[in-house]
Amino acid sequence: MKTSKEFKEAIQNYLEKRAAEDELFAVTYKKENKSLEECCNYIMNCAQSGGCGGYSDNEVFGWAVHYYDEDDIKNIKSVSGKVIVNHSVELSEEDKAKAVEQGMERAIEEAKLQAKKNLAGKVKLSEEDKREAKQIAFQKVVSDQKEKLIMKKTKKKESGVVEDETDLFSGL
């Protein structure tokens, strides 16, 4: 199995940063008998033999450094497995505002569907009464959802919590 590009990049970025900050490791990292591909295979072998479903960054990066430190670690065969690489995404203010708007629209649509389910078959009305009731209910749902989201956002800002704006919609 060939190692994913993202996994290789994460390992390589860590090792290069460490080599730039640590002169002794910089020498170790340049060993000709070592390769990034084999390092990734070593990490995968360690993870597989460990038997856990996930490992911390420190554990994974520790295995990478250990691979380069130890000369007797060589000819590591690849193993089959799946790696999930955590990424940190920085959103612009415009992207955050767009995500909030999309979240609000999603929450409103979900609330409309729930209101429709709750009202279905419970009341006998004329077609005109139904249209009017739906319009009023829709306006109420939209108003309530907007108010909830604004209140939640305001509370987070007041408490000084700085989180991804899309978290506003968890639990709705």
Arithmetic mean of pLDDT over the chain: 82
Q: Determine if the pTM surpasses 0.75.
A: no
What pLDDT was estimated at residue 18?
Answer: 95
What digits encode the pLDDT tens for the residues 108-125?
888 888 888 877 766 566
pLDDT attached to residue 161: 55
> Is residue 13 predicted with pLDDT exceeding 50?
yes
Domain ranges across the chain:
5-69, 93-169
Once rounded to an integer, what is the mean pLDDT over residues 126-133? 82
Report pLDDT for 55.
86
Whole-number pLDDT of residue 53: 75
Whether 172 shows a pLDDT value over 50: the answer reads: no
Quickly list DSSP for the chain.
-PPPHHHHHHHHHHHHHHHHH-HHHHHHHT-TT--HHHHHHHHHHHHHHHT-S---HHHHHHHHHHHHH-TT---PPP-----------PPPHHHHHHHHHHHHHHHHHHHHHHHHHHHTTT----HHHHHHHHHHHHHHHHHHHHHHHHHHHHHHHHHT----GGGGGTT-
pLDDT for 35-89, tens place per residue? 999 999 999 999 888 888 788 889 999 999 999 999 998 888 887 777 766 666 6
Between 150 and 23, the more confident residue is 23
Which has the minimum average pLDDT: 102-106, 112-116, 151-155? 151-155
